[in-house]
């Protein structure tokens, strides 16, 4: 598999990389790459929030190296076109399915297509949306071995949260149930297999 440094150099060589890169670019290396790359059993991943394809490229590289598939969802069709061109440049399109639509509308079908072992949530940052996404994913993703769900922006109320407490409210619930750990300094979490039931049962 390509190394982190090789992939980073290849991505940064893209002529329009300034358009693609995330404002929190280090997160894709310190957390996504660091968490997912050692988990060799994680082949198929769902991403909510394609944006312009920065995190998508990292996850797709890992999926491709394992013969798996990344399915990435976003409501922004223009952003997905930018991501498409970036993924094409990186020769990753054969391992990615780009889906334009609301995650809560398309996820029920998507989770049935493959056996997924991981997911990354970075879409609409409201408590309502993210908690419903998380429930759908946690109930359908194979989390019994190395699989887990990562989530971004959990330490502050995002501008697109809709005023319902956002991800900090969800994170507080997850921590209370022992379902999550936050990456210090990066404000990210991952949901481990054996800890998710308490939160799911709370939601019943």
What percent of the chain has a predicted confidence (pLDDT) above 90?
Answer: 49
* DSSP category for residue 95: G
What is the pLDDT at residue 203? 55
| Least confident residue range of 8-17, 87-96, 112-121, 174-183 | 174-183
Q: What is the DSSP letter of 18?
A: H
pTM > 0.85: yes
Q: Greater confidence, 103 or 184?
A: 103
Query: What's the whole-number mean pLDDT along residues 143-168?
Result: 82
Sign of CA dihedral 51, 54, 56, 57: positive
3-state secondary structure of 97: strand
Average pLDDT over residues 7-19: 93
- Sign of the alpha-carbon dihedral angle for 99, 22, 67, 151: negative
Among 161, 147, 144, 157, which residue's Cα sits nearest to residue 118?
A: 147
Q: Write out pLDDT tens, residues 44-54.
A: 999 999 999 99
Give 165's pLDDT tier (boundaries 50, 70, 90): very high
DSSP bridge pairs for 98: 72
| Predicted pLDDT of residue 93 | 97
Residues 6+ positions from 151 with CB-CB distance below 8 Å: 120, 121, 122, 130, 134, 167, 171, 180, 188, 189, 190, 191
Q: Is 41 a residue whose pLDDT tops 80? A: yes
CATH top-level class of 4-203: alpha beta
Residue 153 has pLDDT above 60, yes or no: yes
What pLDDT is attached to residue 204? 45
Give residue 51's region: left, alpha or beta (phi > 0; psi -120 to 50). left
User: What's the pLDDT band for 23 if we cut at 50, 70, 90?
Assistant: low
DSSP 163: T
């Amino acid at each position: 598999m390509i190394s982190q440094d090789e992939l980073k150099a290849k991505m940064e060589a893209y002529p329009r990389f300034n358009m693609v890169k995330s404002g929190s670019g280090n997160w894709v290396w310190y957390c996504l790459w660091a968490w997912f790359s050692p988990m060799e059993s994680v082949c198929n991943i769902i991403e909510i929030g394609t944006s312009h394809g920065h995190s998508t490229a990292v996850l797709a590289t890992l999926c491709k190296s394992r013969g798996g598939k990344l399915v990435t969802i976003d409501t922004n069709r223009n952003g997905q076109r930018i991501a498409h061109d970036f993924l094409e440049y990186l020769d990753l399109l054969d391992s990615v399915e780009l889906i334009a639509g609301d995650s809560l509308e398309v996820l029920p079908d998507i989770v049935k297509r493959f056996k997924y072992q991981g997911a990354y949530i970075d879409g609409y940052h409201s408590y309502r949306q993210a908690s419903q996404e998380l429930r759908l994913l946690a109930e359908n993703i194979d989390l019994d071995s190395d699989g887990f769900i990562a989530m971004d922006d959990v330490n502050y109320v995002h501008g697109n949260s809709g005023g319902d407490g956002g991800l900090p409210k969800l994170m507080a619930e997850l921590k209370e149930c022992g379902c999550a750990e936050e990456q210090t300094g990066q404000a990210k979490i991952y949901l481990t297999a054996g800890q998710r039931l308490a939160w799911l049962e709370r939601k019943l």
